[in-house]
Amino acid sequence: MIEFRSVTYAFDDVPVLEDVSLTIGDGEFVVLAGANGSGKTTLLRHCNGLVTPDSGTVLVDGTPVTEDLVAARSSVGMVFQHPRDQFVAATVGADVAFGPENLGLERAEIDRRVADALEAVNMAGREDERIDHLSGGEQSRVAIAGALAMAPTHLVLDEPFTGLDDPARRSVLSRLEALSEDGTGILLATHDLRDVLDLADRVVAMRDGAVAIDDSPDRALEALSDFEVRVPER
Ligand code: ADP
C-alpha cells in the first residue's frame, strides 16, 4: 500500500501540494487526473523519495519513504514522463535487463522477464536494437518494459502514453490491468482517460495541488467535465 498522509510541498515558497491524503491499496488501479501544473508529477515523485514532503508523510507498505529509501525504491516501480532520463544502457535488452540484474536474478529468469516485458509493450524480439535509434513512442515503451521487468509491488506511471499509438496504448493498459488483478498497486497519471476508466478502481483528480475528486470512475466522470482531461465519448 502507498499512503499519503497530509502531504504538503512547496517549490520556492509556491505551494505545489496542499494537504494531500491518498491511499493506493495493493491491487488497486488508481488513475490520477488533473490539468497541467496541478501537481501530479510532484505527487508521484514522492512515492520513491525523489521529492520529500515539507510536512506530512508518504508511506510504502507502512514505512515512511524517508526512513527507508532502498525499500521504497525496490518495491515502487516508476515510469517517468521523459523516458530518455531513465535509460542506463545503449540497447533495448540491456536496458530492460538492468533492474532484474541488480536484483541478482539468474540469467534465465532475467531473459524471461525481459522477453515478457517487451512483449507486453509490443516490442517482442527487439532486444538488440539501439535505444537512440528508436522513436519517442518506442522509447516510452522500453521505459515501461524496464519497470515491468522489475515485477514491483507498486507501479507508478507519469503520462506513460505520450507518443504511443492506440494499439500500443491498449496493450500497455491491458498489461496494467492484469498486474493489478494479480495484486500490484497501480497509480497512473494521465490526462487521456480514454480506455482507462473501465480499468480503474478509482479516479483521483488534482486541482491546484489538492485532491479535488477521489471517487469511482463512474461518479468521477461526471465531475471531470470541469477538468482539462480527455474523457471517453459515451
Ligand atoms: P503536473 O504533473 O500536474 O503537470 P507538476 O507537479 O509538474 O504538475 O507541477 C505542479 C506545479 O509545481 C507547477 O506549478 C510547476 O510549475 C511547479 N513545479 C514543480 N516542480 C518544479 C520545479 N522543479 N521547478 C519549478 N516549478 C516546479
Q: What is the DSSP letter of 89?
A: S
Residue 19: the pLDDT is: 97
Q: How far apart are CA 53 and CA 61, in angstroms?
A: 17
Residue 228: the pLDDT is: 63
Query: Of all atoms in ligand 1, which is nearest to the CA of residue 38?
Result: 3
Class of domain 2-226: alpha beta
Residue nearest atom 26 in ligand 1 by C-alpha distance = 11
Position 125, amino acid:
G
Count of all residues that appear for the chain in the document:
234
Query: Of all atoms in ligand 1, which is nearest to the CA of residue 35?
Result: 3
Percent of the chain with pLDDT over 70: 96
Query: Of all atoms in ligand 1, which is nearest to the CA of residue 42?
Result: 6
* Closest of 83, 216, 62, 91 to residue 162, by C-alpha: 83
Task: Please give the ipTM for the structure prediction.
Answer: 0.94
Residue 227: the pLDDT is: 67
The pLDDT tens digits of the residues spanning 10-60 come to: 999 999 999 999 999 999 999 999 988 999 999 999 999 999 999 999 999
What spacing in Å lies between the alpha carbon of 109 and ligand 1's midpoint? 39
Whether the per-residue pLDDT at 234 is higher than 70: the answer is no
Q: Which residues of 108-143 are buried (b: 16+ CB within 10 A; e: fewer)?
A: eebeebbbbbbebbbbeebbebebeebeeebbbbbb
Q: How far apart are CA 193 and CA 190, in angstroms?
A: 7
| 178, three cell numbers | 492484469
pLDDT band at 214 (very low <50, low <70, confident <90, very high): very high
Measured CA distances, 124 to 22, 25, 87, 110, 112 (Å): 36, 31, 18, 15, 12
The pLDDT tens digits of the residues spanning 52-105 come to: 999 999 999 999 999 999 999 889 999 988 877 889 999 999 999 999 999 899
For ligand 1, residues with CB inside 6 Å are 11, 16, 34, 36-42
Q: In testing the pocket of ligand 1, which one of 4, 7, 9, 11 has its CB within 8 Å of the most ligand atoms? A: 11
Q: How far apart are CA 138 and CA 122, in angstroms?
A: 9
The sign of the dihedral angle between the CA atoms of 71, 72, 73, 74 is: positive
What spacing in Å lies between the alpha carbon of 188 and ligand 1's midpoint? 17
What spacing in Å lies between the alpha carbon of 194 and ligand 1's midpoint? 24
Q: Are 83 and 92 in contact (CB under 8 A)?
A: no
What spacing in Å lies between the alpha carbon of 12 and ligand 1's midpoint? 11
Q: How far apart are CA 39 and CA 35, in angstroms?
A: 9
State the chain's mean pLDDT as an integer: 91
* Closest of 227, 206, 218 to residue 22, by C-alpha: 206
What spacing in Å lies between the alpha carbon of 93 and ligand 1's midpoint? 33
Predicted TM-score (pTM) of this structure = 0.90
- Whole-angstrom Cα Rg for the chain: 17
What spacing in Å lies between the alpha carbon of 40 and ligand 1's midpoint? 8
Q: Are 201 and 29 in contact (CB under 8 A)?
A: yes
Residue 89: the pLDDT is: 95
Task: List the chain domain ranges.
Answer: 2-226
* Closest of 172, 189, 170, 92 to residue 135, by C-alpha: 92
